[in-house]
Amino acid sequence: MLSGIFNIAMGDKFHPKKGEAVRPGGFFTAEKDMQHYGWTTRPAVIQIHGMGPFAINYVNPNDDPRNAKPTAKKQ
């Protein structure tokens, strides 16, 4: 964690009461294929590193911004 506060929890469903706050200087590790989620309530800067390849796999495809439907432009 570089700045701000990043909350992290294990599981496949978001529960804001679960998890732990990671503060600057802190870190979090997860095993391969471990389902987890994170959130912030203010701007935060995190660093992610590890052995590649790296991918983000969304448990719920509707949460994946790559699946967002394009919005129509106003003319």
Query: What are the domain boundaries of the chain?
Result: 1-65
According to the model, what pLDDT value does residue 74 have?
67
Three-state secondary-structure class, residue 9: strand
Cα distance between residue 2 and residue 22, in whole Å: 10
Token duo for residue 61: 């495809």
According to the model, what pLDDT value does residue 50 have?
81
Q: Which of 12-16, 39-43, 46-50, 71-75 has the lowest mean pLDDT?
A: 71-75
Q: Are 7 and 50 in contact (CB under 8 A)?
A: no
According to the model, what pLDDT value does residue 46 have?
93
Q: What is the DSSP letter of 31?
A: -
Token duo for residue 8: 């992290």
pLDDT, tens digit (0-9, with 9 covering 90-100), for 29-63: 888 888 899 999 999 999 988 888 888 888 888 88
Grade residue 75 by pLDDT with cuts at 50, 70 and 90.
low
Is the pLDDT confidence value at 73 over 90?
A: no
